[in-house]
Each structure stands twice: as structure tokens, then as C-alpha cells.
Amino acid sequence: MVRVHNFSAGPAALPESVLERARAEMLDYGSSGMSVMEMSHRSGVFVEIASRAEANLRDLLKIGEDYYVLFLQGGATAQFSAFPMNLASPEDSIDYVSTGSWSQKAIAECSKYCHANVIASSIETGFDRVPEEADWSLGSNSQFVHICSNETIGGVQFKEFPSLDKILIADMSSELLSRQININDFGLIYAGAQKNIGPAGLTIVIVRKDLCSMARPETPAVFNYRAQAEADSMLNTPPTYSWYLAGLVFEWLLELGGLDAVEKINNEKAQNLYDAIEASDFYDSPVDPRYRSTMNVPFKLKDESLDEAFLREAEQIGLTNLKGHRSVGGMRASIYNGVSAGAVHALLDFMKEFETKYG
Ligand SMILES: Cc1ncc(COP(=O)(O)O)c(C=O)c1O
């Protein structure tokens, strides 16, 4: 068996020890005589798996009892529509800060349900930054401000969160669990699982309980936060195996020392990569240094005609999924929790060698 260094933006690399444990438990979970995949979600064994996962996630992120933690489906994309239906009436406005493609998609979806009010955007500088907070023109009739805390395609990340008299909503799909955050700064956080949390198919929603009493009557039951909370996220069949695997990831994170320890590792991995890009005349980062993501590192070769050779030669030595998103081109290394420091070192060695050969 040869495992590659996988820099995919998602679904993405998972910690090897988690996959090994899943393999060991695959055919017979805890002497139940069956795989977790084959279990009823109503069985005592699965309910225990599910509640342990929730408890560990609460522990990792220090989530208080005033928040629901939901394990849903539909990806972050479903949440683009679900939260306006849960939190706002058709006449309401939700303020949006636009820092890239995922912000724009969230805005487009919200517009179907209420007024999406763009209060700041970095589109004019090619989505290379977070617009200065002083320049945000907050709406007078909006209770909420939505941000995408880490733009997966552009590699732009909020380093600090705004402190506003409004309720902050964050799409944290590509960074939840990569660093410690203060949950109390947010009314709602949502994230698709397939980057730092586990396999695709699971979506995490962390929402303040007091915000969950005004869902529109037409909100589909599976996306109704209150209804799902009252059913322990099992209003219908949940994505049981993804939930179980996410639980293994949470245990792995706790064993590593929790999110403070993980954040340190992630900062180091990202810093090493940005330092190398910065020190070279061959590579270039398109993102304002103040907002460079620790999770998704886009970079360009100054001579674009070498892009293909870069990707081909990287692939040959087991460095995969380095092609940048088709909308921006160049390269992108996604270095989520499951991507080891060793994988980043292998990439750095390759980049140096490639530069020596072609530079
Ligand atoms: C920041 C961000 N938001 C939303 C999405 C959409 O997520 P999903 O495909 O789970 O709906 C993605 C997917 O990559 C993402 O990176």
C-alpha cells in the first residue's frame, strides 16, 4: 500500500490513525457483530457513538449549554438557505461581507429567502483580503452579519472576528477545528465536514438556542434547527458512518492536546509554506499577507507555462491535488488537520527542487 500526500481542498486527507481505527472496527464495532454502517441509528450502540461525538465536539470548542450542536446533511450549501429560513422573515435583511466565491454563493442563496445586503466586498482587489472593518456599511435593519471565515478557493482568512452589535454568522467549512475560537462571539456557525471534521455527508451546525424560535412554517423539517435539536439530529436517518468517523477525529484531536495544540501545528505548517513562497522569486502568493489562510495556501508559479510540469512532477512523487481551483488557476495546497507536517515538508522539498531545475 502506498498512501500519497493529499493536498485536496475537500473531501480531504484524514488522519491515518483515524482511518486505521475505522478499519479495525469496520466489520465488528465494539463486539456488536456489525459495522457501524449497518447499525440502526436508533440502536443503543449508535446513540452512544453519536452522543460521545457531540460531547467531545463541545469539549474541543468549549460550547456552552446555550447552543445546540446539530449533525445534519446537505452540506454547507444547504445551510446557505437553511439559516435564512430559520432566522429571518422575507422582509428581513442579512448583512454579508464578501471575501470570495463561497461568500458569493451564500449571498445568492440567501437572496431567494430575504434581502442579502452586501456591506463590504474585496471583489475589486480580486478577493485577496478581508475588507477593513471600519469600511463596512452595516445595514440599519439587519440583525445579522454573515462571513465566510476562511475562503477555501482564494485562501483568505479572518484572523480576528469582528466585535459588532449584531449577531455573527460564520461559514467555517474549511477551518472549523483548525484553531481555537470563542463560540460566544457567534450566533451561528456551520461547516461541511469534508475538510477538518470527517467524510463528506455530514454538516455541523452550532447555533444559539434563543435564535431558534422563528423558523418559517415552510422550512423543511430536516433543516429546522429547533425540530432537529429536539430530535437529537435524528429527525430522519442521519449520516451515521460520517458521524461515527467525525467522532473518531474528535477523539484524535483531544489526544493531540485539543485545539490549542492543533492550532500551533497548523500555524507552523502554514508559516513554513508562506515563508518559502515569500523567500522565492519563482513562486508568488496572491493573498494579502495579513489574511493568508492557514488551511488553504494558493500560490502561483511566476512562469505559468511551467504549471503543467509542476503538477505532473509533483504527482509522480505522490504529492497530489495541488491544482488551484479552475476559477483562479495556479496551485493550491490545502493543509487541513489531517495533512501532516511531514507532508508539508515533502511539498517544500519538491518546490525547492523544482525551482532549482527550472528557475
Ligand atoms: C467555505 C465553503 N463553504 C461552503 C462550501 C460548500 O460546501 P458543501 O459542498 O458541503 O455544500 C465549501 C465547499 O468546499 C466551502 O469550502
Mutational test site, ligand 1, from 77, 157, 202, max ligand atoms within 8 Å of CB:
77
- For the stretch 183-186, contacts whose Cβ atoms lie closer than 8 Å and that sit 24 or more positions apart, written own/partner, are 183/61, 183/62, 183/63, 183/64, 183/67, 184/64, 185/161, 186/161
**Cα 72 to middle of ligand 1, angstroms:** 14
Q: Is 42 helix (H, G, I), strand (E, B) or coil?
A: coil
Whether 136 sits among the annotated catalytic residues: the reply is no
User: Do residues 53 and 244 touch, judged by C-beta distance below 8 A?
Assistant: yes
Q: What are phi and psi of 130, to 5 degrees?
A: -95, 130
Mutational test site, ligand 1, from 83, 173, 190, max ligand atoms within 8 Å of CB:
173
Please give the pLDDT value at position 330.
96
Whether 307 sits among the annotated catalytic residues: the reply is no
Q: How many distinct helices (H) and strands (E) make up the chain? A: 9, 14
> Structural domain boundaries of the chain?
17-255, 258-358
Give me the chain's average pLDDT, please. Answer: 97
Q: Which CATH class is domain 17-255?
A: alpha beta
Please give the pLDDT value at position 5.
98
Please give the pLDDT value at position 274.
98
Q: Which CATH class is domain 258-358?
A: alpha beta
Chain segment 259-293, per-residue pLDDT in tens: 999 999 999 999 999 999 999 999 999 999 999 99
User: Do residues 114 and 84 touch, judged by C-beta distance below 8 A?
Assistant: yes
Please give the pLDDT value at position 18.
98
User: Do residues 267 and 344 touch, judged by C-beta distance below 8 A?
Assistant: no
DSSP 323: B
Please give the pLDDT value at position 62.
98
Please give the pLDDT value at position 65.
98
**Mean pLDDT across the stretch 338-352?**
98
Fold match between 17-255 and 258-358? no
**Mean pLDDT across the stretch 203-229?**
97
Chain segment 93-131, per-residue pLDDT in tens: 999 999 999 999 999 999 999 999 999 999 999 999 999
Please give the pLDDT value at position 189.
99
User: Do residues 13 and 338 touch, judged by C-beta distance below 8 A?
Assistant: yes
Q: Is 162 helix (H, G, I), strand (E, B) or coil?
A: coil
**Mean pLDDT across the stretch 79-101?**
97
Residues in the chain, total: 359
Catalytic residue selected from 102, 252, 269, 300 = 102
